[in-house]
Chain A
Amino acid sequence: MGEYTYSELGSILAMQGFAGISLFSVLLLMALGLAIIFGQMGVINMAHGEFMAVGAYTTYFMSSLTESYLPTLMPYYFLIAILLSFLVAGLLGYLAEFALIRHLYKRPLDTLLATWGLSLIMQQSFRSIFGAREVSPTLPDWLMGSYQPTETIDIPLNGMFVLALTAVVTLGVFYLLFKSSWGLRVRATTQNRIMSGAVGINTKKIDRYTFALGCGIAGIAGAAFTTIASTGPTTGSLYIVDTFMVVVFGGAASLFGTIASAFSIAQAQSILEFFISGSMAKVYTLLALVIILMFKPEGLFASKVRR
């Protein structure tokens, strides 16, 4: 390492630190929606990745629309696209709950199968509507390139954007669940469904909105990831494994657990990746997860799940 100056090494350390934080924000954003649905409702949503893809395709659609009709609005369309992704994915989630999930609440293993079927249907729909090729929306200029605080440090702008978005969404979710009266009803339903119904909470409506919220957040995640990667019909299935890993490791019903787990997985992975090769880093990370889960089967933060 003799040929490097201290400032160069310092810069790389700083950038590597940011790479870890950036991965943390990506994992957290992916897992939040799933954690809400899994944690609050006990439904394993195998189609979570596809709801992300819905968000990504919405963003792509908005980008093409803006480019052809309102090119002057290109710098701003992305923010609207994120909002729309939330609404579209949320609406689809609402419909899915109404048409499919609510009939299967008493059969948790069947929801697993049904949502997996749903994911296949959605994948083929993407293929029919948008084609099999991977697509990328045209990004506004302010999302491209890097921020250079010093001569040798480049911090990716898209990474900073995803980080900020994750922070906003996480705070929003916390506010909704723990400070609003709606959140109070959701938590009450989670803890005791029959009693909640008895005191006048419309538990069916709560279920539907919880599911829609989870899917909507998946939509936001999908929109944000268009800044990092491309979107294809099977993009969702790439993310689903990492997403489940974060949620299960964190403890199925705990949002704090999800955050802690996303952070530890991201840091472990990015630090290992720096010193050994990418594939092996993943192997060691997963190995560590398996060992920890053997001793703590409920995950990092265990709490009550609806029985």
Chain B
Amino acid sequence: MKATSVIKSLTRFEFRRGLLRVVGVSAFLLASLSAQADSANTTGLAVTDDTVTVGILHSLTGTMAISETGAQEAEKLAIKQINDMGGILGRQIKVIQEDGASDWPTFAEKSRKLLVKDKVAAVFGCWTSASRKAALPVFEKENGLLYYPTFYEGLEQSKNVIYTGQEATQQILDGLNWVAKEKGAKTFYLIGSDYIWPRTSMKIARKHIENVLGGKVVGEEYKPLGNTQFGSVINKIRLKKPDVIYAAVVGGSNVAWFKQLKAAGITSKKQTLLTISVTEDEVLGIGGENLEGFYSIMKYFQSQDNPNNKAFVKAFKEMWGDDSVIGDVTQAAYLGPWLWKAAVEKAGTFDVDKVVAVSEMGDIELTTAPEGYVKLHKNHHLWSVARVGKWNKDGQATVVYESELLEPDPFPAGYQ
């Protein structure tokens, strides 16, 4: 126990002695109990002697529920496992779950509720960049701690956020190097949905293709979100004959895009296609037969063959059903509670400033991550490996390439 906190608890003890004469012995017992709890936690967070409360904030309703369901399932699994091991600093984790309802202002409002009213020690949540951007000012103002699981466009680093997915350069650059080397690709056709993540990713991809690989971008195309008609684009691609189609189409459009590619006779036999927006989750909707032989770049695939991952997949299926699939973001969400546990235990307190300070030392690591080894960088992102997976008919991918451990670089010089 540190000297300052001893003094603090003593003064409180003295103060409560004053009350004692009025309230009686039972009050004295209660007061001394709470004085004890205060000595381990003086931060005003929802921490008691044997519990600590955290928040989970994902969309359970609305458009994004499709994607965010897996993430919150993984976070609950991790929290359950941590509790079974005895919790954090001897405290069991209690969860308050809120629904972001696929609506960005709601994310901000629920964040405020979790931080101000519930005083949670950490929040695991958000999925889209838009929801993160909406919640971010609240986390910064109330000094909360958010673990954000999605691979995203980068260009952000907040004291109050730990990013457990990959930022754009980690995901994109090595995959492009691989396809240029392995397939001798020179010409690329870029296609994505029309919003910030595909556009930023494509900007980075284009710079890398043109400046580093010496290749050529023969077409760049964005379709409105929710668009289901790709006939004209497919004809354009036919006209340009690119070596590689590089795709970042999301949501329901993704399914239409791959179904129509196949219907137009463009299959992996004739065409190399690399995508940064298809995980096992998306394959459920697209159908393995429409994707067979195409490639995805991710940091995690469910089929990864290592003991950590086998145990994780088994535990996940036991908790959430045999037919559940695990995509990249689901796995990244699973890392959140474990990274938090490591940081809290190292700091010896739940205090947000101290947990962040420890996280920023850059030596918090997980050897038990399903994706393999990860380490937290000073810049709040994770060192991680990029992998290229080739899709099979059964909806699982075979990993055909693994990079080295990549340093996260959310503000890449020369790519902005």
Contacts and interface: CB of A to CB of B under 8 A. Distances in A.
A158 interface: yes
Contacts of A183: none
A282 B224 contact: yes
A236 to B, nearest CB: 11
Interface stretch (B103-111, B116-124, B205-213, B284-292): B284-292
Contacts of B362: none
A228 B260 contact: yes
Contacts of A159: 231, 263
Nearest to B194: A279
B361 to A, nearest CB: 39
B239 A12 contact: yes
Interface string B280-314: 01001111010000000000000000000000000
Interface stretch (A38-46, A69-77, A100-108, A129-137): A129-137
Interface residues of A, number: 47
A228 B228 contact: yes
Looking at chain A's contact residues, the main secondary structure is helix
Contact of B284 (A133, A271, A278): A133
A238 B222 CA distance: 17
A49 B208 CA distance: 42
B216 to A, nearest CB: 14
A232 B252 contact: yes
Nearest to A272: B232
Contacts of B229: 23, 26, 269-270
Interface string A271-304: 1011001110110000000000000000000000
A22 B265 contact: no
B232 A19 contact: yes
Given A12-B239, A229-B256, A230-B286, A278 B263 contact: no
A227 B60 CA distance: 28
A151 B284 CA distance: 33
A120 to B, nearest CB: 11
Nearest to B63: A234
A145 B265 contact: yes
6 contacts: A127-B61, A154-B265, A156-B231, A156-B263, A230-B286, A278-B233
Interface of A: 4, 12, 15-16, 18-20, 22-23, 26, 124, 127, 132-136, 138, 144-146, 148, 154, 156-159, 225, 227-230, 232-235, 238, 269-271, 273-274, 277-279, 281-282
9 A-B pairs closest in CB distance = A19-B231, A154-B265, A156-B263, A230-B255, A132-B65, A229-B256, A273-B232, A134-B285, A146-B265
